[in-house]
Amino acid sequence: MAETLVAFANSDGGTILIGVDETGQATGHVYEDEVDVTLKAALEQCRPPVEVRWHQAAAEESMAIAIVVPRSPELHTLADGRVLVRSGAENRPLGGEEVRQLAATKSTGDFEAGTAPGAARGDFDDDVVEEFATKWEERHHRPRPDSVDDLLVEIGALDPDGSPTIAGVLLFARNPKAFVPQSTLTFVKFLGETPRGDAGQSGYGRREDIGGPLARIIQRTWEVLGEEVRVGAVVTGLERKERTEYPMAAVREALVNAVAHRDYRLGGRRIEVRMFSDRLEISSPGGLPGFITVDNILEEHFSRNPRIVAGLYNWGYIEELGLGIDLMFDEMVRAGHPLPRFRDTPYSFTVTLQNVRERRPSPSWATNMNERQAKALAYMQQHGRITNRDYRLVCTDVTAETLRLDLADLVKRGILLKIGDKRSTYYIMK
């Protein structure tokens, strides 16, 4: 329990359920006094102590206990010095560099949770608040609180005293720029592959500065991209299908991620969407947060701005928490494009999507695969087959057993066909 408390506190929080089995059904074998003793013993192993609250959880015929662990602005360790984070369904210990990176993020506190100097409740756009409340009801399948301000306090847009937080201003203020000047986005379309024209003059054909509540920034930027992205057509038999130069679902995820995860503390820097003739670059201020790196970005999840992320999720701009990067990879592979490129610096993170197609699009059934399997699929589309040795060269930092299981999974799902045996084994698409 101590390991899980620390892991949740160092990540995005979570809930520990006691007295239920793996299917979520209550077992009836749980007693409050035992939970209390165990929880106190576990908290004694946490440095510093982790803030928790616990209560009885709803169960049909028996009792269960829910221990709620919020995300903490502090870095927590166990008594033996280990630093753990939540990775999927496991508690993963961090190495030295990861600990330093997480500590640097934690030391800044939650900027979005602080109150916005000079802001008042009257600065919120009531139409935007009402739109959000309606979306919230649809997402949660239950009515909102009697007072919409209670809902705003619940999601962290207002503090308990009714003052707007930074997150609240960014999500709901009529003019967030008045309180967070760096909250806008700049879209620029360049005429060629560089920011300059052939003669060295300014090479852009369109520039637009976009502001307002974050949902409106996403909406307006999406409209601009829709106006600028080239559209072609593919005819199969008697059916004509339009095909955009980028998979628009991948573009949408890159845009929403930039708005949700940028470092809003950095002044003088905006989110930039730069469209070139051969690529689309979406750059957000602030490097990757917490223990996230370019190498583990598909497997790990850590939100710099959990309240903003939750707000955009409830709004419907984020379909499933933590899966945006996976979807971006899937869409690019399925459309036959190169994989997205990431560039991380201490002050910015840039996603690059290329509009060239290096292979034919994948069939619609080629979904729900991990990044390694997507790379294997891309390799086979280019070379016709793949061997275990080929796969090890494609994914050099993964064990041979993991790669074997990847291929076995694709065979089991009917995507690949295994040919030969032992050293002569290779795989083709079924």
Can you spell out the DSSP letters for 335-375? Answer: TTPPPPEEEEETTEEEEEEE---SSPPPPTT--S--HHHHH
Write the pLDDT tens digit of every residue in 124-138: 999 999 999 999 999
Does the structure show a pLDDT above 80 at 320?
no
Map out the domains of the chain as residue ranges: 2-106, 113-179, 183-354, 371-429
- The neighbour count for residue 347, using CB atoms within 10 Å, is 11
Answer yes or no: is pLDDT of 109 > 70: no
Report the residue count for the chain.
Answer: 430
Residue 422 has pLDDT above 80, yes or no: no
Q: How far apart are CA 145 and CA 402, in angstroms?
A: 48
The candidate with the shortest Cα–Cα distance to 380, out of 391, 396, 368, is 391
Q: Which of 31, 36, 29, 48 is nearest to 1 (CA)?
A: 36
Instruction: Please tell me what DSSP assigns to residue 202.
Output: B
The C-alpha atoms of residue 387 and residue 400 are separated, in whole angstroms, by 12
Tokens of 104: 């640097």
Q: Are 71 and 6 in contact (CB under 8 A)?
A: no
Flag whether pLDDT at 237 surpasses 60.
no
Residue type, 326: D
Residue 63, pLDDT above cutoff 90:
no
Residue range 153-183, pLDDT digits in tens? 999 999 999 999 999 999 999 999 999 999 9
Confidence of residue 55 (pLDDT cuts 50, 70, 90): confident
DSSP string, 382-424: HHS-B-HHHHHHHSTTS-HHHHHHHHHHHHHTTSEEEES-GGG
Best CA proximity match to 311, nearest among 154, 201, 183, 104: 154
Which CATH architecture does the domain made up of 2-106 adopt? 2-Layer Sandwich (3.30)
pLDDT of 182 reads 93
Tally of CB atoms within 10 A around 212: 21
Report the distance separating Cα 183 and Cα 259, nearest Å. Answer: 9
User: Closest Cα to residue 227, out of 282, 275, 169?
Assistant: 275
Confidence of residue 205 (pLDDT cuts 50, 70, 90): confident
| Conformational region of residue 104, where left means phi above 0, alpha means psi within -120 to 50, and beta covers everything else | alpha
Has domain 371-429 been given CATH number 1.10.10.10? yes
Other CB atoms within a 10 A radius of the CB of residue 234 amount to: 10
- What is the per-residue pLDDT for 361? 66
The answer to whether the CB of 175 falls within 8 A of the CB of 122 is no
Of the candidates 271, 310, 311, the residue with the CA atom closest to the CA atom of residue 172: 311
> What is the DSSP secondary-structure string of 158-183?
B-TTSPBBHHHHHHHBS-GGGT-GGG
pLDDT for 385-411, tens place per residue?
Answer: 999 989 988 888 788 888 989 999 899
Long-range contacts of 134-138 (CB under 8 A, 24+ apart): 135/314, 135/315, 135/316, 136/314, 138/316
Looking at the DSSP bridge assignments, the partners of residue 202 are: 196
pLDDT at 346: 82
Q: Which CATH number fits domain 183-354: 3.30.1330.30, 3.40.50.620, 3.30.565.60, 1.10.10.10?
A: 3.30.565.60
Q: Which of 384, 390, 420 is nearest to 404 (CA)?
A: 390
For the cut 80, the answer to whether the pLDDT of residue 199 exceeds it is no
Contact in structure between 284 and 258 (CB atoms under 8 Å) = yes
CA distances from 405 to 258, 362, 381, 399 (A): 34, 22, 20, 10
**What's the CA gap between 16 and 229, in Å, rounded?**
46
In 3-state terms, what secondary structure has residue 286?
Answer: coil
Give me the chain's average pLDDT, please. Answer: 87
Q: What share of the chain is helix, strand, coil (3-state, %, to 5)?
A: 35, 20, 40
Entry pTM? 0.75
